[in-house]
Amino acid sequence: MDLTTHTPPDASGTLDEALERLHTFGPERGGWLSNHAPMAVEALVRHGGAPGVHRWLDHYREKLEDMPDPVAEVTSQNWQEALGDPRRIADWAVYFERETAARPWREVLAEWWPRLLPGIAAGATHPVIRVGHSVRTLLGAPESAPRVTELAHALGYWAARRQPLPQLSSLAPAADAATALDAVAPVPDQSGGIRHRLGQLTAIPAWPGHAVADPDAARARLEELVRAATHRYAAYGYGEPIMLVHAATAPNAVLRTLPALPRELWAPSLGAAWAASAAVTAAYSPARPAERVAVSGGLSPEEVFARAAEHGDDHTIKFTDTALDVGDATALAAALQSVELNPPAL
């Protein structure tokens, strides 16, 4: 993908065009695989890749399926019975389109965030990641109808796939996020889908080691978690190169959403983000680090993202986007590791 022409996010209008193109499609294919295109194109445009976005979508088109048929209207009276019902994906999308048309999107997000947060593992964490990308677009540029609709579809996907984690016990407290992730034990049977793996979870380390009530402290700990999970991929990503990116991208989606949320929701968001990152780590992380770990080789963040964009894999693009948020040499090395480990798409 050609990244020689760098433009500010959304300056070309490409993102809105891409989102409009995507909103006729559903959030999944094959019954459970996620549609990553809205997230990937947002990251591409943000990092100067607008000129190649439609070409990337042309390649991705074969992975898209039409929005499923509606089943029954979701309303303010019956939403609880529709929560977590994947047959109602289209119904939920229409519900949130209606809600975000009737009142400010921040108000809708603030109302639904605590309802959806306990189900953060939904769709292998893709719905919350999609919300994080969507909120970033709404916070970083003037609102547009396609960006608000994207938030509606992301929230609808989360509501339809809402999946609480099992009730987890707390193991010994860990001093920091990196130590906590290292202390997460792999589930006994690392085969099958994510639901089977997450069903084996019984306990995760207590982190942070004390209750965090201050919103700013919660945000700082969340930044620490994203950094630790991104760094860890450099050594452990080989075990499951696609799925392990979510140990970093899911908490980063929560971090990106915090500025749009009431501050009293920041601390609970930290707890849910840690549970999601730990769960993905337990489900997919190998027991030992790789013998050889990639290094950044002195490449700039722009050069690293250019490699991810040229590689074309949606998970690689999104993980590299998160690695650039972290921004240090180990994070860039982890991004290059994802380029090496995941199969190219272009």
Residues 186-223 have pLDDT tens digits of: 999 999 999 999 999 999 999 998 889 999 999 999 99
pLDDT at residue number 210:
86
Backbone phi and psi for residue 29, each to the nearest 5 degrees, phi listed first: -140, 150
Q: Which residue has the tokens 């540029």?
A: 141
pLDDT > 90? residue 291 = no
Strands 169-173, 33-34: parallel, antiparallel or unpaired by DSSP? unpaired
Nearest Cα to Cα of residue 49 among 330, 308, 329: 308
pTM exceeds 0.85, yes or no: yes
Residues 231-280 have pLDDT tens digits of: 999 999 999 999 999 999 999 999 999 999 999 999 999 999 999 999 99
Ranking 5-9, 136-140, 191-195 by mean pLDDT, the lowest is 5-9
Could you tell me if 100 and 152 are in contact, meaning their C-beta atoms sit under 8 angstroms apart? yes
321 assigned to some structural domain = yes
2 assigned to some structural domain = no
207 assigned to some structural domain = yes
Per the DSSP assignment, residues forming a β-bridge with 203 are: 169
Average pLDDT over all residues of the chain: 94
pLDDT category, 154, cuts 50, 70, 90?
A: very high
Strands 33-34, 28-29: parallel, antiparallel or unpaired by DSSP? antiparallel
pLDDT category, 67, cuts 50, 70, 90?
A: very high
Residues 155-193 have pLDDT tens digits of: 999 999 999 999 999 999 999 999 999 999 999 999 999
pLDDT at residue number 11:
56
pLDDT at residue number 9:
53
pLDDT category, 3, cuts 50, 70, 90?
A: very low
pLDDT at residue number 1:
28
pLDDT at residue number 297:
81
Task: Check whether residue 151 and residue 233 sit in a common domain.
Answer: no
Task: Check whether residue 205 and residue 306 sit in a common domain.
Answer: yes
The CA distance from 156 to 162, in Å, is 10
Please give the residue range of the domain that contains residue 125: 14-161
Nearest Cα to Cα of residue 195 among 170, 165, 160, 167: 165
Task: Check whether residue 181 and residue 284 sit in a common domain.
Answer: yes
Quick one: DSSP state of residue 34? E
- Helix segments in the chain, DSSP class H: 14-22, 37-46, 53-60, 79-82, 89-102, 105-116, 126-140, 145-161, 177-182, 194-198, 215-236, 246-257, 266-284, 301-311, 314-326, 329-341
Task: Check whether residue 130 and residue 252 sit in a common domain.
Answer: no
5 assigned to some structural domain = no
7 assigned to some structural domain = no
